[in-house]
Amino acid sequence: MAPLTPHWSQPSHPSIQQVIIPSDPSDFTTKSISKVTLPPYALFAKLSFPPCAKASEPTYATVQVGRDEHVDLNSDLVYINHSCEPSVIFDTTSLSILAGPHGLKAGDELTFFYPSTEWDMAQGFSCFCRAATCRGFVSGAKNMKPEQLDGMWLNAHIRSLLEERDGVPSTSLSNLTLAPGSSEKGKGLAVNGTKEVENGTAGENDLTEEALKSALDQARKMVDAAQKALDTYKSLHGRSSVDDLAGTGGKGAVRQNGVGSRELSGEMGGDTQVEA
């Protein structure tokens, strides 16, 4: 496969992302390094249009944002590689890139879990992330076992397609992780049922209630993470950290830039975009 040839001006996001390109263009080891430090689940980037654009068909350089929707990132964000223990999350519902559950530090490699967005990849690859949880060959969530997806952030279109594939009622997917490590009960997929649906509507109602409580818990955690990020920003810029989220209406806030990318070096792939 020929190396990716950028059609945009480089560097596209020099303040937040450093792209490291090997001297040998045939050496597919291009990677992205973060230039910013963020707390867990803080907003790293917004995916905006442009520079993002809808793709007519999926390729190794697109990101899947819906059941049948794919986008080109059209920036250096395309060089964010895959990892089985990723540093960022691509949330296609809000068109955002978030720092991972451990936060993000300047100098960290920018990576995300491709099956969290990709159902059936145009070109699979043998992962070399070297993580203890490495999944080996990666070609999309469609071709992965439930245990390989356990505990990972999965976007809504991926969860829906997994439900169809495995014939599991939505009420039995209450343990599906919305944010990595944030659920006290059964992280990850309950495809084979960590808690089976009981006979009758009572069991189904119990599971639905659990799912709603879990979703509310995730939302609270996301708000807490956003508040911490705001407090950190205020403290760094000499502003009061006791203002509530609605207090200032965002005056004086720094515009968020983003990065998200992937290069399929026969083994890696990715993309994302930032707010212009």
Domain that holds residue 25: 17-165
Q: Alpha carbon of 251 to those of 57, 109, 247: distances in Å? A: 40, 31, 10
Q: Looking at the whole model, is its pTM more than 0.75?
A: no
Which runs of consecutive H residues, i.e. helices, occur in 64-195? 146-149, 156-166
Which domain CATH number covers 115?
2.170.270.10
d(CA 142, CA 81): 20
Burial of 199 (0-12, 13-18, 19+ CB in 10 A): exposed
State whether residue 186 is helix, strand or coil.
coil
Q: What is the tens place of the pLDDT at every residue in 25-67?
A: 665 678 999 999 999 999 888 888 989 999 999 988 899 999 9
Residue 12 lies in a domain: no
Residue 40 lies in a domain: yes
Cα separation, 210 vs 119, whole angstroms: 27
Distance (Å) of CA 227 to CA 32, 87, 94:
27, 20, 18
Q: Report residue 212 as tokens.
A: 């709603």
The reply to whether 228 falls in a domain is no
In a domain, 76, yes or no: yes
Q: Is residue 252 included in any domain, yes or no? A: no
Residue 215 lies in a domain: no
Q: What is the mean pLDDT of the chain?
A: 73
Closest listed residue to residue 97, CA positions, set 53, 44, 49, 40: 44
Q: Say whether pLDDT at 207 is over 60.
A: no
Considering the domain boundaries, does residue 138 fall inside one? Answer: yes
Q: What is the pLDDT of residues 257-272, one digit of tens each?
A: 333 334 443 333 333 3
Domain count within the chain: 1
**274 is a domain residue:** no
Dist. CA 246–CA 267, nearest whole Å: 44
The amino acid at 21: I
